[in-house]
Amino acid sequence: MKITKIFTFDSSHMLDGHDGKCQNLHGHTYKLEITVSDDPIRGGAKDGMVMDFTDLKAIVKKHITDPFDHAFIYHGGNGRECQIAALLEGWNMKTLCLPCRTTAENMAVEMYDRLKNAGLKVCSVKLWETPTSCAEYEGE
């Protein structure tokens, strides 16, 4: 059985060295779809549920939306992006360093891994960068 919950958050990023307009600092209102797969619980208050949507929301909030929302997300291995992050941090603005380039594809993998490491039985992460463009990761 699978359940899916949808979240939204706003972030800025850039793709330094990209050959299009996304090389510039810009932002998105991301839509995030988290799908969890497991056998339904048998017995107790949560009988018939894969998991309580409220519990799923709390995990995603802690590991994804709280750190990502309204942050400048940057690649820690890119000097120019790190310079921008340092400037923003000097002004007490929110940043989030990732170990990879901040493409929708890489961010979907990062989010999947964060949720898996939190013990969630996530089976897919779908990250919508725009209403018509998304990346989906289903794990190895």
Residues with active-site annotation:
22, 70, 129
In the chain, which ranges are continuous DSSP H helix? Answer: 53-60, 66-68, 79-90, 104-117
d(CA 43, CA 59): 23
Coil, strand or helix at 34: strand
What does DSSP assign to residue 96?
E
Quick one: which of 30, 29, 69, 35 has its CA closest to 50?
A: 35
Binding site listing for Zn(2+): 13, 26, 28
* Tokens read off for 112: 């999947």
